[in-house]
Each structure stands twice: as C-alpha cells, then as structure tokens.
Amino acid sequence: MSLSISDLNFSSITLGTWVFGGTSWGGADDTECVRVIHAAIDQGVSCIDTAPIYSHGESERIIGKALAGKRDKIVLATKCGLIRNPDGPGVVHNLNRSEILNQVEGSLRRLKTDYIDLYQCHAPDPDMNSEEVMQTLNQLKDEGKIRAIGVSNFSPKQVEECLRYADVITCQDQYSLLDRRVEEGITDLVRQKNMGILAYGPLAGGVLTGKYKDEPDFGGADCRTFFYQYYKGDAFQKVRQILDELEGLGHPLCELAINWVRQQKGVASVIVGCRTVEQLEKNLVALRWELSTQELEKIDEIINK
C-alpha cells in the first residue's frame, strides 16, 4: 500500500534512521544498518527518512553508502535547521538562508546523491523568517537539488504561514497511541490542504512494543531518557496498564501500535526505526492486516480512561 503526494510515492511504512550511527539510541552496527536498508527496499519500503543531526551526519553517510545503485528505488527525505551546538551539549535551531544552503550541500555530499526528494525543516526556529525560509527552499527546487518541501514539528499556524510562500506537502509529527497532539489542528489542516502526515514515534520510543516489563535504564546519552516521557515512575506504570489491556485484543503490541497510527486520518506514512533486519521484518508484518472499526473504538476507550 502506498500514497502519492506531489509525484512522490510514500510506502505505508517509512524507514526511520535516527538510530543509525549509534550515538543517540545505543549501539548500532553500520554493516547491519546497510543490510536493513537493502532488506527494506527488497520488501517494498519506498521511503527513507534521515537528518544531518542524526549521529552528526553518520546516518546520512550510511544511507549514501547503502543506496549505491539503488537510489531510484527510494523517496529520500532529510532535513535542515538543527545543528550540533558548538559550545556544548544539545542542538541549535538555525533556519536562516545561508545555513539552509550550507546544510543541503552537506546532505547531498553525505547521501551521495544529486537531489533530495523531500527536504524538511526539522523544527521551527524561533528567529526564522518564514518567507525567507520558503523562498530559499523554492530556490533549491528550481535548481533541482530538492523535489519537494516538508516541515516537521511545526504548529498549525506556522504551517499555514509557510504555505503562503511555498507548496509544503508534508508535516512530520510525533504520533502514537500515547501522543495525539497532532490531532490538535495538524490533522484537519493536512486534509484541507491535500498534504500528508509523516508520523514518527509510533512505538513511543519502543515502550509500545511491550518488551519493557520493568523500568529500563538506558543511560544519560540515550535519547529515550529525555525525548520520550514514558519510562519512569507513574508514567511507566500507566503505560504498563494500557498495554495489559491492549494485549486483550489479541494482536502483537508492536503491530497494533503501528497499525493504529497508519489508519488515522491524514497519515501518509508511518516512520518506524529499527537497528536489525529482524526488527524491520517484525514491523513490516503490520502491513498484512488492519484493525477493525470495533477494535479502533476499543483502543480509544482504553487510552482515554
């Protein structure tokens, strides 16, 4: 199953690559990451999502290596606007014109490609000039360096402002059973504007797989310690109660969580990360079935308690 938006063909599942490079989510073997990409292509995944901030460029470099001779099989999506903080830990938001032009050249070089299919603003820059940002991206389209424009983590108001100056085709947002903030405006907006949602975090950092029976300790450098707020104290216990009830529906929790997101209105593709071919194959099993209307209603009942 796939969805075409502005001549880009998005498979129901997009391969997410934040884990590639091994600096943000624990260890990841580069050779295995290449195998994951090849296996994904072989099994019909037509979109890969990355960003220069993922493992500080290593994710893009691994993808560039893996796509040798296979570039035409993939909708390749990357981003701009987040850079490593030169003065310490964390990241810096920067969507000024010169930085966008600098970042796109770096991504093209690391990805070993002449063009990027979907170029996304990774997150809103508090100091950004939306007109300048979109005009810069339009220039890159005119030059053939990018094919389409997307935004990520933008508010509905910010998306509408961008649409005044450019044809923005996707909004990439966090969306899961546990995080439905995207429904507060973005869902309706993308349907009105014939856009699509690229939903990331459908497994809420892995907690919705059900594999964590007790509170895990990932270590301070792991993004799960701060990006997802489900692994500690009362929040973790509440999630465990939800998962216990969801298991009563009789589906593997991983597949249920992915299918719940991909069956929501406005979702063009669900971004699912993995570090091994085995994990990839488990995720792709979700495409073989769908939740019934009754099951979707029961899931809403469980998570809205």
Domain 2-303 falls in which CATH fold? TIM Barrel (3.20.20)
**pLDDT of residue 15 exceeding 90:** yes
User: Which tens digits make up the pLDDT trace of 264-285?
Assistant: 999 999 999 988 999 999 999 9
Tokens linked to 166 = 């450019």
pTM of the model: 0.92
What is the rounded average pLDDT for all residues in the chain? 91
User: Which tens digits make up the pLDDT trace of 79-105?
Assistant: 999 988 777 777 889 999 999 999 999
User: Which tens digits make up the pLDDT trace of 232-268?
Assistant: 667 778 888 899 999 999 999 999 999 999 999 999 9
Catalytic residue among 54, 119, 175, 230: 54
Could you write out the three-class secondary structure of the chain? Answer: CEEEECCEEEECEEEECCCCCCCCCCCCCHHHHHHHHHHHHHCCCCEEECCCCHHHHHHHHHHHHHCCCCHHHCEEEEEECEEECCCCCCEEECCCHHHHHHHHHHHHHHHCCCCEEEEEECCCCCCCCHHHHHHHHHHHHHCCCEEEEEEECCCHHHHHHHHCCCCEEEEEEECECCECHHHCCHHHHHHHCCCEEEEECCCHHHHHHCCCCCCCCCCCCCHHHCCCCCCCHHHHHHHHHHHHHHHHHCCCHHHHHHHHHHCCCCEEEEEEECCCHHHHHHHHHHHHCCCCHHHHHHHHHHHCC
User: Which tens digits make up the pLDDT trace of 32-52?
Assistant: 999 999 999 999 999 999 999
**pLDDT of residue 228 exceeding 90:** no
Query: What is the per-residue pLDDT for 42?
Result: 97
Query: What is the per-residue pLDDT for 265?
Result: 93
**pLDDT of residue 305 exceeding 60:** yes
Verify whether residue 54 is a known catalytic residue.
yes
Query: What is the per-residue pLDDT for 3?
Result: 73
Please give the residue that has the higher pLDDT: either 269 or 1.
269
Domain ranges of the chain: 2-303
